[in-house]
Structure 1
Amino acid sequence: MPSHATPTITPGRTWVLLILGGIVTVFVVIVAIYVVNLPRPANSPGTDAGARPAPTESPAPEPVASPTPVVAPGTPQPTSCAEIYSPAMKQAFGDLVLNPQWTTEPGADVGDGADDPELVGVITASPHLTCHWASPTGPSDSGVDTSVVWLSPEQTTAVTDRLAELGYGCYEELSGLRCLTESDSGGALVGESHFLRGEVWLATRYTNAGPDGYTHDIVNTLWAGS
């Protein structure tokens, strides 16, 4: 059989191979470090398994402020029922009291100062202060409900037109417009008194009650000195 000679590597060649291998290793390490430190996109996951982008919170909605009614300077703005009557009127109701506890309970049998649904709708949709003269023990066949209502010019026209449409007797009085109606309903004397001046509407409905000069007293108290 022919014999084959075993290849030999000279010492010089060995050093060349070692140097080349070292260079390749260093190059691979440098490339790996560069790849690891590349910047990631803002929404890319992290390197940990299962990592997720941090959720962003939506800003809380801004609260919507309730509109504040704008009234002309000098317009009466009572904040309590005690402010709309003179001391004498507060003493004139006899057994009826102002805003007894039961009138503030949910579902209480009290009115807003008008019977017509359109007028009641304007009262409830507008800034208003409603006051009740009633029996301290509960609903009875006597009482007075009055609302002080702040209106826009358009609402004032709508209320005036509606009062005329309903056939209420209207006339000028105390620098404003006064409208009245009264009837006998099943043996009970029921009536309404409406007074409009500027941006204020005094809406009153009464049953078997109401001292003489009631509306005049409110007008003179609210517009005292004017």
Structure 2
Amino acid sequence: MAMNPRLIGATAAVVLLLALTACAPQAGGAGSPSPSSTQNDAAGDEETGTPSPSPTPTAAPVALPTDCRAILSEAVLTELADTPLNHAAFGPSGVGEDGALTCIWGDPGADTTRLTTTISGMNRGPALDLLNKLADDEGFSCFTPDGGTRCEKTWPNEQYPVTDGRTLFWRDDVLIDTRYSNLAPAGYTSSIVDHLFD
């Protein structure tokens, strides 16, 4: 029996809403196409399934990072190898006036191979709105690993025969938002999560 796609989308939105509400911090804060089982995206380790409530996070605020290399494991840095970091051709990067860190990995001479991550402070309400919109309107898959909420999606590049994607992870008022094209080191987002929250 075929299921109504709108009913499925609405159910997914309700489940995500419940998951984000359950993982909301009680005090303080720093104030930051479906994944394929064979695709190593910038999110790192992939999981599937229905999101479930995350444990209540600690009340201590999480400091936003200031160094793009320091937040990554040696394995991820090795995979990035000689990929330039924060080349001026890609525009502003590094620590912004609001404290957010933007890391842009990519060769300015390449047409599409690039990975951009922004780590910023974001309270539960705006995070809830953003992630629900991505799940409802753009078909992102969302679940709740590592004490937070993660949404991700991959799709074919419109111009080149490569994969593009976006992965977001929110926990303790910190949002890690990565957009990539043809550059998806295994364990990338998980490495950042481990650095920030463990």
Name the TM tier (shorter chain).
Answer: 0.5 to 0.7
Q: Distance in 1 between matches of 2:167 and 2:195?
A: 17
1:126–1:151 contact (8 Å) kept in structure 2: no
Larger radius of gyration between Structure 1 and Structure 2: 1
Q: How does 1:89-100 map to 2 (within 5 A)?
A: 89-100=76-87
Q: Which has the higher contact order (CA 8 A, sep 6+)?
A: 2
Q: How many residues align?
A: 138
Q: Distance in 2 between matches of 1:125 and 1:194?
A: 22
Look up the match of 2:155.
183
Q: Distance in 1 between matches of 2:180 and 2:88?
A: 19
Q: Distance in 2 between matches of 1:158 and 1:125?
A: 24
Q: CA deviation at 1:158?
A: 1.5
Q: In the alignment, which of 114, 119, 124 is matched to residue 148 of structure 1?
A: 119
Q: CA deviation at 1:80?
A: 2.5
1:96–1:143 contact (8 Å) kept in structure 2: no
Look up the match of 1:213.
187
Q: In the alignment, which of 99, 102, 110 is matched to residue 130 of structure 1?
A: 102
Look up the match of 1:75.
62
When the two chains are superposed, the root-mean-square deviation of aligned CA atoms in Å is 2.6
Q: Distance in 1 between matches of 2:145 and 2:129?
A: 19
2:30–2:174 contact (8 Å) kept in structure 1: no
Look up the match of 2:16.
none
Look up the match of 1:172.
144
- Provide closer, same or farther for how the CA distance between residues 70 and 222 of structure 1 changes in structure 2, counting only shifts above 3 A: closer
Q: Distance in 2 between matches of 1:183 and 1:144?
A: 15
Q: Distance in 1 between matches of 2:162 and 2:85?
A: 21
Q: In the alignment, which of 160, 172, 179 is matched to residue 198 of structure 1?
A: 172
2:140–2:153 contact (8 Å) kept in structure 1: yes
Offset from partner CA, 1:85-127 (integer Å, 9 cap, x none): 123322211341221243346xxxx9xxxxxxxxxxxxx9965
**Secondary structure in 2 matching 1:80:** coil
- Provide closer, same or farther for how the CA distance between residues 125 and 178 of structure 1 changes in structure 2, counting only shifts above 3 A: farther
Which amino acid in the other structure matches residue 154 of structure 1? G
Q: Distance in 1 between matches of 2:175 and 2:103?
A: 14
Q: Distance in 1 between matches of 2:170 and 2:104?
A: 20
**Secondary structure in 1 matching 2:175:** strand
Q: How does 1:19-30 map to 2 (within 5 A)?
A: none
Normalised to the residue count of structure 1, the TM-score between the two structures is 0.54
Q: Distance in 1 between matches of 2:156 and 2:97?
A: 30
Normalised to the residue count of structure 2, the TM-score between the two structures is 0.61
**Identity, % of aligned positions:** 28
Q: Distance in 1 between matches of 2:124 and 2:99?
A: 14
Q: Distance in 2 between matches of 1:162 and 1:93?
A: 31
Look up the match of 2:128.
157
Q: Distance in 2 between matches of 1:127 and 1:74?
A: 14
For structure 2, the residue ranges without an aligned partner over 5 or more in a row are 1-28, 32-58
